Amino acid sequence: MPTLPWTTPNPVPPGTDVLVFASRFGTRTLWGAFRFLLRTPGVWRQVSRAPGAYGATLKVEVFRRTFWTLSAWESPAALKEFARSGPHAPSAGGLSGQMRDAKYARWEVPGEALPLDWAEARRRLG
């Protein structure tokens, strides 16, 4: 699966700073990677409708069993609500035993900096 292009669920109000959330994680097995891929469409639909979501993209390296997320949010509360609801919550919980080497990063950028590219996320996630 290639990188999913940046999607913009909601426009950023002018002059607004946004919360950026990035993650990199791997699965213990190739089967875990395929399980992740099977759940991706539902979570992708969820983020495309999520209140407070300003953008998101996903990079998949399936045979390396590595996944990267990059998203922009109105607030920590909007990100938390997304993570704890819809398809994301049971997907994350159901796959937790398959995960390894997870890293997360958060920072703020001006809304005008969207869409984000992967360079800064990769730097922060190592």
User: Residue 25: which domain range?
Assistant: 4-125
94 contacts 27 by C-beta, under 8 angstroms: no
Secondary structure letter of residue 28 according to DSSP? S
Inter-helix orientation angle 76-83/88-95, to 10°: 70
Percent over 70 (pLDDT), the chain: 91
The CATH number of the domain holding residue 66 is 3.30.70.100
- Say which amino acid occupies 69: T
Model confidence at 57: pLDDT above 80: yes
Average pLDDT over residues 33-51: 87
Per the structure, the count of domains in the chain is 1
Q: What is the pLDDT of residue 40?
A: 79
Q: What is the pLDDT of residue 13?
A: 96
Q: What is the pLDDT of residue 92?
A: 60
Q: What is the pLDDT of residue 96?
A: 67
Cβ partners under 8 Å of residue 22, min gap 6: 68, 69, 70, 71, 104, 105, 106, 121, 124, 125
Determine how β-strand 99-110 pairs with β-strand 17-27.
Answer: antiparallel
Lowest mean pLDDT among 22-31, 34-43, 58-67: 34-43
Q: pLDDT tens digits for 66-119?
A: 989 999 999 999 999 988 887 765 556 556 677 788 899 999 999 999 999 899
